[in-house]
Structure formats: C-alpha cells, structure tokens
A and B are shown apart, each in its own frame.
Chain A
Amino acid sequence: MIPEMMADTFDRYVEKLGVPAPVRKMDVEAGDAVFVGDTHGALDVSAYALAVARNSSVVCFVGDLVDRGKNQLHNLLFVVESAIISGRVVIVRGNHESTLTNDYYGFSDELKSMGVFDLIYPHIVRLYGRLPYAFLLNSCVLAVHGGIASDLPSLADWESLPMDDPEPSNQGAFQILWNDPREYVDGFLPGTRGEGTYLFGPDAFSEFSQKNGIRFFVRAHEVKKAGYEYMFQGKLVSIFSSRYHKGKAALLRLSLEPDFRQEIMIVPDEGGPILWPNDPL
C-alpha cells in the first residue's frame, strides 16, 4: 500500500508537468526567488528552504535531491509533493537524477533496503526524464545543475533537447548536468569527472550570457565548504545545500527587483534547534 502511495506521488507530478519541457520558463513580477543547491537527502535542509521561502515568489531546487545522504527517498517525496501543491516550487534535474549514478551513490541501495526498489524506481526514472534541464526566470536568470554545454550555444538549442532520457544519453543535456565553471579555462576543456564532461571558462560563459540575454546564472553541482561561491565577476553563483561534506549548507535569495540584490542564507547546523526564520533569537 505505502509503495503505491509513493509511486502515485511521482506519477501525479509527471502528470502535472504535462508536456515535457527541457527549459521551464516563468515570469514573476515582484518579490524574490530562493535557490536550493544539492540537498542529497538532506530533508531538514529542504524543509528549512521551504520555510524560509514561504513568502518568496518562487523556490527552485537545482537538482541532486537523492544519492549520498540519509533521507533520499523522503527528501525526493517531500520536494515533489511540495511541487505538486504549489506551481511556485520548481525542480530542475541534476546529474544524480539519473540511472547512471543511483547504483553507485546510494539511492538504489536505499530503495532496496526499504524493499520498494522494484515497485517505485520505474516511476522515479520516468519522472527523471520529465524534469527540465534548466529553469529560466524572467527571461534573464538561468538556473541549471552543472553549466553551459559546448555544443549548445543558444537557449533555443536547449529547448529542442530530447526528454524522457534516463541517463541522459544526449551529450548536450549530459553537459548541462555535469559541467563546471573555472576561472582559468579558455573556452571549454575536457573535465576530470569522466568522459563527456567539460570545464567552461569566463569567455565561453560571457559569450553564452550575451547571446541569450542572461544576467545572472545559478548552478549547483560542486561541493563548496562555505556552501556557495561566486565566479565570473559575480555573474555566476554555485550553491550547495547539504552538509555530507562537513561544510556549510547554503541557500540563495535573489531579489527580482531591478537591483537583483542577493542574500546567501546559511542553514543552521544539525544538532542545534533550527529556528523558524522570524523567530526571536
């Protein structure tokens, strides 16, 4: 009974997403947007993020909800159920929302230890294939898990990426989920995460941003001890939102007013009480 209820959650979100869109677009006139990086099973961080963002116009989870951490299935169910309840909760696909990684980094094992793998994993994989590769907010803020891709110079190219691709096996989509920015790289350089991954430098980033009218770029994918890192003269931020690496879990709040004011929020550490954002200290 319980596995069927979980499978139903994933199916309902697939249904709600409707026609699969590689780039999900949203226009919001006012307020702010909160971005959540890799949570990797950090259910407490996801819950905290939604609490912090309860007055925000949009909350975007920039991928990697599963693998590595302690409450992977619960984290995925929680965020997916939240996204069903509110269209203002957006989930972008990460490189761990993939059949390539789940066997190696723990999610398959967690599902097997619960005895639900065969029953619900097919539903989860179907959802992976429907998650957008990118979230485009107000036509000028782009959020992806990894970065830009060497063979997809225009966002129009991104919009024709194939969906329902469980790995994904499409090289461009794969790069969007796996690539990393580096200040000292010229153009694109093969990366060290494995075949088909690239590092991209400030010139490639600047070219892409100008061509596509991107003013601010949010991505996740890399462990940052401080929970975040700004690069490329402040036009790109990496945000990381779990603590399995013993560092900080951070969230980003971005004002949608013309000044694009940004605030990094560090999630309180485990062990201590987590205050509701407006609680008196």
Chain B
Amino acid sequence: MTWFCTKCGSQNEESESTCVVCGSGRISEMESQQGVMAEGQGSQQPAASPPPEQQPPPSPVSAHVEESPEESYLEFQFVQTPMESLMGKKVKINFSVFPSVSVGRSPENVMQIPDASVSRMHAKIMLDGGSYYLEDIGSSNGTFLYDGSKFVEIKEKTKIQEKSLVKFGEGTIVKVTSTRSV
C-alpha cells in the first residue's frame, strides 16, 4: 500500500509518515491531529481568517503581487522550507488593499506555505502606523523571530522589519528582504 503526497505528488511507502521527497506530512494524519486541536480552541481560528477576495489561482505560493511605487508592501525570501523549488524564492505581499494578511498552509491564505508543520491558519501580518507586525493566531507549532542567536517564540503582536528572520512551524524560515509603507 502506498500513498501520494498532496503537495508534490510523490509516491511514498506506507511506512513513511512524511513525504520522502518534500517532507510534507500525510495529510490524513495531519488533518485529524488538527481537528482535535481545533475543537479545543473553539471557533477562534476560522474567525481570524481575513476575507479571501482577489485570491489568485492556487499556486505553491500565492500573494498579491501588483507592483506600484505608491503601494505598501513587505517582501519575504524563503531561506528554508521543505519544498526544494521554493528555496530562495521571493514573495511580495501588498498591504495597500488589506492592512492585515494571513499566513498558513490552507489555500485561502494570502501567503500560503506548503509545509506540513505550518498550521492551516498560522499567523497574520499587519501594517499599523507605518510599521509591520507579526502575530501567531493559535498555530500548533508556533511562530518564531530570530534574536541573533536563537529563534524565540512570539507570544503577542511583534514588530518585524527588513532583515527580520521568521520561522513558521518547524520547517520554514523566511527573511524579510524589503518593506515599504505609504
């Protein structure tokens, strides 16, 4: 009996609990674990989801990418993530339409991260008073900010800026490569 990875399509032996190619978990197992978590947390997670309007077609990384010099944006680079093809990729998120965007594994997020250790609804990034802030929204494996020697779990709304290094869950690290706020 084999199973197919829902992220990269590779075939895996029954004995593997994560994809041997991209490291994603078996979604059936992940979903049931998260189902238990979600019950304990009530309806808090779904409520944190921002409106998914203007969602581009599903792709490994989706984000608002319209470029205009007058727009506010925050640009990330993938430094480490299970999917080989995303490594080094930059993603620009536009904050001019919505000042708060969602980060998570589900396709309805503005910034979708295909990593089994990232929760379906994981974190949000907000533009507030000219500064960008990051907040975990009840993820299973946490959101972390690098302090120069280690990744420290963030417990509340935390400011991020250019060169900030953020870890989502256990497998994805992104670097803030540039920001603009107007």
- Could you say which residues of chain B place their CB within 8 Å of the CB of A225? 21, 84
- Could you say which residues of chain B place their CB within 8 Å of the CB of A246? 10-11, 20-21
Roughly how many angstroms separate A192 CA and B23 CA in the complex, as a whole number? 12
Asked whether, in the complex, the Cβ of B20 is within 8 Å of the Cβ of A192, the reply is no
Roughly how many angstroms separate A225 CA and B84 CA in the complex, as a whole number? 9
Roughly how many angstroms separate A42 CA and B78 CA in the complex, as a whole number? 32
Asked whether, in the complex, the Cβ of A247 is within 8 Å of the Cβ of B21, the reply is yes
A106 to chain B, nearest CB (A): 8
Closest to B170 in A: A192
Asked if A85 lies at the interface with its beta carbon under 8 angstroms from chain B, I say no
Asked whether, in the complex, the Cβ of A190 is within 8 Å of the Cβ of B151, the reply is yes
Roughly how many angstroms separate A252 CA and B88 CA in the complex, as a whole number? 25
Asked whether, in the complex, the Cβ of A191 is within 8 Å of the Cβ of B80, the reply is yes
- Could you say which residues of chain A place their CB within 8 Å of the CB of B173? 189, 192, 199
Asked if B165 lies at the interface with its beta carbon under 8 angstroms from chain A, I say yes
Q: Which residues B121-156 have CB closer than 8 A to chain A?
A: 146, 150-151
Roughly how many angstroms separate A86 CA and B170 CA in the complex, as a whole number? 43
Q: Which residues A159-205 have CB closer than 8 A to chain B?
A: 182-185, 189-192, 199
Tell me if A's interface is mostly helix, strand, loop or mixed. Answer: loop
A224 to chain B, nearest CB (A): 8
Q: How many residues of B contact A (CB 8 A)?
A: 21
Asked whether, in the complex, the Cβ of B84 is within 8 Å of the Cβ of A199, the reply is no
- Could you say which residues of chain B place their CB within 8 Å of the CB of A244? 20
Partner of A189, one of B11, B79, B171, B172: B79
- Could you say which residues of chain B place their CB within 8 Å of the CB of A182? 79-80, 87
- Could you say which residues of chain A place their CB within 8 Å of the CB of B171? 192
Are A185 and B21 CB-contacts (below 8 A) given A192-B170, A225-B84, A246-B10? no
Roughly how many angstroms separate A185 CA and B175 CA in the complex, as a whole number? 9
Interface mask (B73-97 → A, CB under 8 Å = 1, otherwise 0): 0000111100010011000000000
- Could you say which residues of chain A place their CB within 8 Å of the CB of B77? 184
Asked if B167 lies at the interface with its beta carbon under 8 angstroms from chain A, I say yes
- Could you say which residues of chain A place their CB within 8 Å of the CB of B11? 246
Closest to A188 in B: B149
Closest to A191 in B: B80
Closest to B163 in A: A186
- Could you say which residues of chain A place their CB within 8 Å of the CB of B165? 189
Asked whether, in the complex, the Cβ of A184 is within 8 Å of the Cβ of B88, the reply is yes
Interface mask (A235-273 → B, CB under 8 Å = 1, otherwise 0): 000000000111100000000000000000000000000
A237 to chain B, nearest CB (A): 16
Closest to A109 in B: B15
- Could you say which residues of chain A place their CB within 8 Å of the CB of B88? 183-184
Partner of B21, one of A190, A199, A245: A245
Asked if A65 lies at the interface with its beta carbon under 8 angstroms from chain B, I say no
Query: Which B residues have a C-beta under 8 Å from some C-beta of A?
Result: 10-11, 20-21, 77-80, 84, 87-88, 146, 150-151, 165, 167, 170-173, 175
5 contacts between A and B (CB under 8 A): A184-B79, A191-B80, A192-B172, A225-B21, A245-B21
Task: Knowing that A192-B171, A199-B79 touch, tell me 9 more A-B residue pairs with CB under 8 angstroms.
Answer: A182-B87, A184-B78, A189-B79, A190-B150, A191-B80, A192-B167, A192-B170, A199-B173, A223-B21
